[in-house]
Structure 1
């Protein structure tokens, strides 16, 4: 199945088959895809909570606008960002750069100082919005990978972050939930699965400058 056909196959699943589960290999693909997501400056200010616990998933349904995909899906992926973001994240990033690439301080320090200053001068509100944008990049990446791997998914913004933070103890990790992605396999009787995809013509959505 080529990439475009995979994307045509994908849709926001309304009903998952609760009896089917992703394999360990499929879950690992999604974990690694998340970790390989492009982020601004490569800082990765995002974390992924992977839930495969029906009791917890069921508890989260009332706080997800009663969307049953949360409990019927094989796994529930919760994309999170820091509640507060500090320049120590930049310090840690460049330590990792040096560990992996062995880059000398003379090369790293100018960019490190620039990035530290950029973070330091932003308010927490600005940093929150910036980090949330990174979460959407990760969501888009995961949706594409799911399509290619024939894993069904349903991106969600409709949930109560405060309740998710409470139930998942995210505050203990300085995190807050911003996006959801139930993943699994579509039910045979999901009413959306055989409907034609509705999209504008590419002539309406793309401007070419030659």
Structure 2
């Protein structure tokens, strides 16, 4: 796999430059597009060439939601990663429904940003810790009242190492933290995650956490 081609659009010039400088220092990532406005973004000829678009709007309003929908239709191969300091459950659900593949909130740092980029490039959605907790809040409440039984068949398909990775992943450990704790490479961690998603027929990290909670792999 070649370099991950990234576009960044932020109405805050200082943040835009900071993100681009961070990504420019990495050999595996190439910043092809830098824009400070939605109009400039849509007119950029580089938009067709990027794999991931980091979108940092000033406000997540109808204009931005329409942009995400438009991007999903006109540029379906471009995966949109939202970076927002103001996020609530309703807004997050709207952006996901519109077609965004990832969401980073105020608790995110540069490691989260990089992990999100690599996760999206591998074909999976990515949500920061606070976003995941917000999305799972209602699910957990319903789950406690329903008390469903574990899905043993799916669990038995996992190797002992995959189960270890699943447990740490479900407890919000990053790839780096899992790598250090289990004494394996980050590439091996990513490989285990992909196998877990395939074996359990999961599509997103949120699905994975739901599965881990439902089967008492992690405590809530």
TM above 0.5: no
State the TM-score, normalized to the length of structure 2.
0.20
TM-score relative to the length of structure 1: 0.21
Structure index of larger Rg: 1
Q: Decide which structure has greater helix share.
A: 2
Which structure's relative contact order is higher, taking Cα pairs within 8 Å and 6+ residues apart? 1
